[in-house]
Amino acid sequence: MASTVSDFGLSCGILPGGARNAITDVPGIRVGHCTLRNGDTNTGVTAILPHGGNLFRKKVTAASHVINGFGKTIGLTQVQELGTIETPVLLTNTLSVGTCATALIRDAIRQNPDIGRSAGTVNPLVGECNDGPLNDIQALAISEEHVLAALADAHEGEVEQGNVGAGTGMTCFGFKGGIGSASRRIALGGGHHLGVLVLSNFGRPGDLVLPDGRRPDPGQPAGVERGSVMIVLATDVPLEHRQLERVARRAGAGIARLGSFWGHGSGDIAIAFSTGNLVDHDESRDLVPLLALNEARIDILFRAAAEATHEAVLNSMLSAGAFTGRAGKHRASLADWLRDQQR
C-alpha cells in the first residue's frame, strides 16, 4: 500500500479524496506497470487505460496543456486538434518514446485490422521524463515487449506507486521520485471523481516546500534542473475539450505549490481526459448528443486538479524508497526524511 501525505499529517487542500485516493477512483480507469531493474538499467513503462474496451473504437474526450515544453511527448498535436485519445496513455523514459509509440501502433492494429487500411491511422500517446541520472538511458532498454507487459498488467483498483514502471529511475527535488496518484470527489451531478497520476522527475534540490512550510533537504547539490513531470488527469464528469484544457492547465498550479517555477529544462506536460462522453469511431449520426458541465460550476474541478496534482507528486515521493542507481548514484526518500523529523 502506497504511503501518502495523510500518513505524514500533511494535506493538500480542502476537497475530500476518493476511496483509493488514486486515478482509479474514476470508474473504468486501469493502470499497469512494467519495471526494469537490472544493474545500471532502472527504468520502465507505465500504462493508463481510460477504459477496458477498444480505445480506438470508443475514444475518450481529451485535451493537453504544455506547462513547459522542454519535452518529447508524442501525440499531443492530434489530441489538441480532435479532442480525443484513442490509445492507452504510456509513460516512459525520454529516449524510449519511439519504441513505445510503435508498440501502441502494433497493439492498435491487432485490435483494429482496418487501421492503415480503411480506417485511417492511429495516434499513439506517449509521455516521458529523463531518468538519465539513475538509469543508463543510452541503452534504450525498453522494448515493445515491455510495453505489452505494462498493458497486460493494467488493472482497476489499487495503483502501485513510487519506484515502479516509468517511475523506477526518476528524481524529484533531489529525492527519489516516481509514480504517484491522488483523487478528489466532485460533488456535481450525482457524484463524480477527478483523479491524477504523475510521473515526477522535476524540481531543484532545496526548492521543495511542504504544505506546512517545511523545506526538506535531500542532501544533493542544487545544480541545474533538468527534470520533467508528466501529469495525467482523468474524470468521469462529462467535459468538452475546451473544458478539459482548462482543467489540465490547473495541474501547473499544483506543481507551483510544491515550490517549482516550471524550470527551463523540464518537460512539464498535462493530459486530461473525460470518460463521460465517449466518441464512437464508427458514429453514424450527423449530430451527436453529449453532456457538458455548466461552466459556472467548473471551479471545483480546477481546485481538484490543483490539489490532486500537488498531492500526487508528494505521494510519488512518499511511496518511493531510497534508491541507488546507475554509477552508484543515490537518492534519499522523502518518507525517510519525514520520519527522521518526527523522531
Task: Tell me, yes or no, if 266 is annotated catalytic.
Answer: yes
Give me the 219-258 binding string for a second copy, x by CB under 8 A, dash otherwise.
-----xxx----------xx-xxx---x--xx-xxxxxx-
Distance CA 166, CA 154 (A): 14
295 is a contact residue toward a second copy (CB under 8 A): yes
Nearest to a second copy of 112, 319 (CB atom)? 112
Residue 5, classed as helix, strand or coil, is: helix
Asked if 179 is part of the footprint of a second copy (rule: CB under 8 A), the reply reads no
Cβ distance 272 to 64 under 8 Å? yes
> Rule CB under 8 A: is residue 172 a binding residue for a second copy?
no
User: Exactly one of 269, 320, 334, 335 binds a second copy (CB under 8 A); which one?
Assistant: 269
d(CA 64, CA 2): 27
Indicate whether 189 belongs to the interface with a second copy (CB under 8 A): yes
Q: What is Dmax (Cα atoms) for the chain? A: 65
User: Does residue 328 belong to the site contacting a second copy (CB under 8 A)?
Assistant: no
Residues of span 24-63 touching a second copy by CB under 8 A: none
Which one, 50 or 254, has the nearer CB to a second copy? Answer: 254
Please confirm, yes or no, whether 268 is among the known catalytic residues.
yes
Q: Is residue 298 a contact residue for a second copy (CB under 8 A)?
A: yes
Q: How many Å from the N-terminal Cα to the C-terminal Cα in the chain?
A: 23
> Which residue type is seen at 77?
T
Which among 45-53, 176-184, 277-285, 330-338 is the span making contact with a second copy, rule CB under 8 A?
277-285
Residue 148 found at the interface with a second copy (CB under 8 A): no
Whether the Cβ atoms of residue 217 and residue 40 lie closer than 8 Å to each other: no
Tally of CB atoms within 10 A around 279: 18
Given the complex with a second copy, which of 20 and 59 has the nearer CB atom?
59
Contacts of 156 (CB under 8 A, 6+ apart): 24, 28, 29, 30, 52
Q: Where in the sequence numbering do the catalytic residues fall?
A: 228, 266, 268
